[in-house]
């Protein structure tokens, strides 16, 4: 490795030769067929492709939620293969945020407490938790909704709580799985703009699995996967 290369910060996520199969014998299906990929901080990257093409499986590998059969994944330069379950949990807790289609909020907790809980888990000192949680909720435009539980929030507001919960811990990487699929046009756009904000203004690597073409104009990079292979890698909105 040259000196100049060694001075570069490691990429947010790097996958090399990732393969994954499910099943045995004649029922064995190869889902990922050799994926090489680098995800960069400061960018909103979309992962698109037909249903069943391997998007969720790939995201699970990149987030260390599942291990490849062969090949390697590194997060911020740390190879995941060398980590046990505690090590994987630790790297996810410290560096990764997650946003899901179904919001994954706790029904009994207010918006403020959803965010406070995660900051407590990450080990943020008690006196800072409230300030950081309020600041994250303000960033997603929910100052007036801090004390409401999920049942009193709209779908768009719930997803904004989930984004606040993810960004409060200042993750290097935000994984989003179909974050706008359950939302109408207006709320889908608010959430999309927030994901881009997390990438551009917070410097996170945002990787978003989506079918939603409404996200396309906001993306820095669009990866396309078909039948377990990457078949496209474009930056359609880049200013030359």
C-beta atoms surrounding 146 within 10 Å:
16
Specify the 3-state DSSP secondary structure of 174: strand
Residue 57 as a binder of ligand ADP (CB under 6 A): the answer is yes
Of 45 and 57, which CB lies nearer to ligand ADP in the complex structure? 57
Whole-Å CA distances, 98 to 26, 31, 210 = 35, 23, 14
Q: Should residue 240 be labelled a site residue for ligand ADP when binding is judged by CB under 6 A?
A: no
With tokens 């090590």, the residue in question is 87
Binder of ligand ADP out of 14, 37, 45, 49 (CB under 6 A): 49
Does 52 bind ligand ADP (CB under 6 A)? Our answer is: yes
User: Is there binding between residue 56 and ligand ADP (CB under 6 A)?
Assistant: yes
Does 179 interact with ligand ADP (rule: CB under 6 A)?
no
Q: Which range, of 50-58, 81-89, 143-151, 230-238, touches ligand ADP by CB under 6 A?
A: 50-58
Q: How far apart are CA 139 and CA 165, in angstroms?
A: 11
Give the binding-site size for ligand ADP (rule: CB under 6 A). Answer: 10
**Which of 74, 118, 126, 76 has the alpha carbon at shortest distance from 97?**
118
Does 74 contact ligand ADP by CB under 6 A? Answer: no
Looking at residues 9 to 38 of the shown chain, list those that interact with ligand ADP (rule: CB under 6 A): 22, 31
55 near ligand ADP, judged by CB under 6 A = yes
Regarding 210 and contact with ligand ADP (CB under 6 A), the answer is no
The Cα–Cα gap between 132 and 130 comes to 6
Nearest to ligand ADP of 49, 179 (CB atom): 49
> Hunting for tokens 């996170």 — which residue is that?
204
Residue 141 Rama label (left phi>0; alpha psi -120 to 50; beta): left
- Give the three-state DSSP class for 114: helix
Q: Does 232 bind ligand ADP (CB under 6 A)?
A: no
User: Rg of the Cα trace of the chain?
Assistant: 18
CB nearer ligand ADP, residue 94 or residue 224: 224
Q: Between 168 and 174, name the residue whose CB sits nearer to ligand ADP.
A: 174
Binding site residues, ligand ADP, CB under 6 A:
22, 31, 49, 51-57
């Amino acid at each position: 490795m040259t000196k100049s290369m060694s001075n570069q910060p490691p990429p947010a996520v790097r996958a090399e030769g990732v393969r994954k199969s499910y099943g045995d014998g004649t029922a064995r299906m190869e889902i990922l067929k050799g994926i090489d990929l680098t995800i960069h901080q400061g960018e909103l990257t979309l992962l698109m492709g037909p249903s069943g093409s391997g998007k969720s499986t790939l995201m699970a590998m990149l987030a260390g939620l599942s291990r490849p059969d062969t090949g390697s994944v590194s997060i911020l330069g740390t190879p995941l293969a060398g980590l046990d379950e505690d090590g994987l949990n630790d790297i996810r807790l410290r560096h990764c945020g997650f946003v899901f289609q179904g919001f994954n909020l706790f029904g009994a907790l207010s918006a403020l407490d959803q965010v406070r809980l995660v900051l407590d888990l990450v080990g943020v000192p008690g006196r800072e938790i409230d300030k950081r949680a309020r600041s994250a909720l303000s960033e997603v435009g929910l100052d007036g909704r801090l004390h409401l539980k999920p049942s009193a929030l709209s779908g768009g507001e719930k997803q904004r709580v989930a984004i606040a919960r993810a960004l409060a811990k200042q993750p290097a990487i935000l994984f989003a799985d179909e974050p706008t699929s359950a939302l109408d046009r207006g709320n889908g756009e608010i959430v999309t703009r927030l994901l881009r904000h997390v990438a551009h203004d917070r410097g996170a690597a945002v990787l978003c699995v989506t079918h939603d073409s409404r996200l396309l104009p906001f993306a820095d990079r669009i990866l396309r996967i078909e039948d377990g292979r990457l078949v496209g890698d474009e930056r359609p909105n880049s200013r030359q």
